[in-house]
Structure 1
Amino acid sequence: MRILIANDDGYLAPGIAALVQACQGLGEIDVFAPERNASGTSNALTLHQPLSLHTAPSGFRYVNGTPSDCVHLALTAGVIPRPDLVLSGINNGANMGDDTLYSGTVAAATEGFLFGVPAIAFSLVDKGWQHLDAAARVARRIVEHVLAHPPAASPWLLNVNMPSTEGLEQADWQLTRLGRRHASFPAVAQHNPRGDLFYWIGPAGEAREDGDGTDFHAVRQGHVSITPLQVDMTDHARLPQWRNWLSQP
């Protein structure tokens, strides 16, 4: 068993160190992570500047690029053998609902999935790393479970969100679907000391589709949310309507 671990918070983040430590003994571990925090970079690949690969004293490899760059290099540059499993995280904050479209954590796992490698993205819902050790132990148990009981269809892609609560290790695991958020809050305009205007992207919107069965609902109830993801964004349910639209004279 060979496991590739990546993240979007950067190779110095506590979350990736905790995940690596938790997975010791499960197989050979390789770490490829961004040099700096790359949250919100989604599935971006760096195409117009070269990427450099360095090794930290910890043995972690780090890349001056995005989470997807990290996994892409690990899988295509010939630096390491092909992994059997890609893990991403543990992220500092939730990746639920629409977050998955923007998340670098989910993107790193998705890059492995696109190359035919099963992958899991792990996130700790509240920022600040509270209960990180417990989250890492839960992550290991989930990895052990998929190794002991491999899903029938491979590759597969899982998005795991863990509540930052006491008793996390005793929390139930629930299979969920993605909820939805309201639109993000407006961009925030500020002036720097020289009077130049710049903007900060506003925070994510509140949950709006968060009923029973969603990732939002599961986490709010104190459960660990496990959501199987796919890359196919085709609107299958409305394909017949679009066929009718296309056939209009």
Structure 2
Amino acid sequence: MRILLCNDDGYGSPGLEALIAAAGTLSTDIWVVAPDGKRTAGSHALTLGRPLHLTERAPQRFSCTGTPADSVAVAMSHLFAAAGRPDLVLSGVNDSRNVGEDMMYSGTIGIAREAAFWGLPAIAFSSDGAPDLTAAGRAWIAGLIRRLFESRAAWASPGHWLSFNLPANLPAPFKPVERIGSNKIGVRCDVVEQGGPTTTLIMPRGRQRTSEPGDENDLLSQGFAIYALQSWRAASVKSAELAAVIG
């Protein structure tokens, strides 16, 4: 089994190394392509019309100057152009949870979505800050990956991928996401420097979570490992009122 691993926290990040260790118990054909630095909120951006630098750090281990989604695109269009395609793409483990609005902002999920564009089974892993990624935690993740790969016909239909959020303590019981939470980032700008026509601003990483009983944030805070089957091919929401307006 050929496994491609990517992330948005950067090459060598603890979450990526833990995922590499877990995947390494399932296969010896492990490939890593990850950004050369942190790319939080990289979403699904691609670097087009500008140079990308791919650096081989070790056999089958590469860092890339681009975005998280570039990692998949570069792997598929360059590294695997003349070789066998990956059987599975793993993204993460992200160093914070990805819920609510993060589905659109997250580079971790953007990686899985890009893999789905290439017709590859993909699983994104995010965490509630600092999950237990010791030997026991890695073994639990490895077992989960194995079960999901063996049953991929049940979930990896065209345009679909899986997103998991892991609590701090592993192993953990599972809960499917039935109520979406809120986790909006970028709601505040701090002024760094101001003078003349240019103002320098910075948007902090922090966010104000909104949680209701039974939503993603609530379940994750209770210690559940939550998961969702996501798709970019979902049909447009039907609205009789909108149809009447448009005609």
Q: Is the 8 A contact 2:101 2:184 kept in 1?
A: no
Q: Is the 8 A contact 1:215 1:227 kept in 2?
A: no
> Is residue 162 from structure 1 mapped to residue 163 from structure 2 by the alignment?
no
CA spacing shift, 1:135–1:110, aligned 2, 3 Å: farther
Q: Is the 8 A contact 2:131 2:166 kept in 1?
A: no
Q: How many residues align?
A: 237
* Separation in structure 1 between the aligned mates of residue 192 and residue 216 of structure 2, nearest angstrom: 34
CA spacing shift, 1:151–1:204, aligned 2, 3 Å: farther
Counterpart residue number, 1:81: 84
* Separation in structure 2 between the aligned mates of residue 87 and residue 96 of structure 1, nearest angstrom: 18
Give the Å deviation of 1:209: 5.3
Secondary structure at the counterpart of residue 71 of structure 2: helix
Q: Is the 8 A contact 2:25 2:142 kept in 1?
A: no
Unmatched 5+ residue regions in structure 1?
none
Give the Å deviation of 1:141: 2.1
The amino acid across from 2:167 in the alignment is P
TM normalised by structure 1 equals 0.86
The alignment-based identity, stated in percent, is 30
TM normalised by structure 2 equals 0.87
Report Cα offsets for 1:143-178 as digits up to 9, x if no partner.
11112323425243111111113xx21x20111143
Q: CA RMSD in A?
A: 2.2
Report Cα offsets for 1:181-227 as digits up to 9, x if no partner.
357431111239xxx74111144543335432x32122011100111
* Separation in structure 2 between the aligned mates of residue 70 and residue 90 of structure 1, nearest angstrom: 15
CA spacing shift, 1:79–1:108, aligned 2, 3 Å: farther
* Separation in structure 2 between the aligned mates of residue 8 and residue 181 of structure 1, nearest angstrom: 18
Counterpart residue number, 1:146: 148
Counterpart residue number, 2:127: 124
Report Cα offsets for 1:52-102 as digits up to 9, x if no partner.
211113741111101111101111222652111110011111111111211
* Separation in structure 2 between the aligned mates of residue 221 and residue 12 of structure 1, nearest angstrom: 30
* Separation in structure 2 between the aligned mates of residue 116 and residue 22 of structure 1, nearest angstrom: 23
Unmatched 5+ residue regions in structure 2?
none
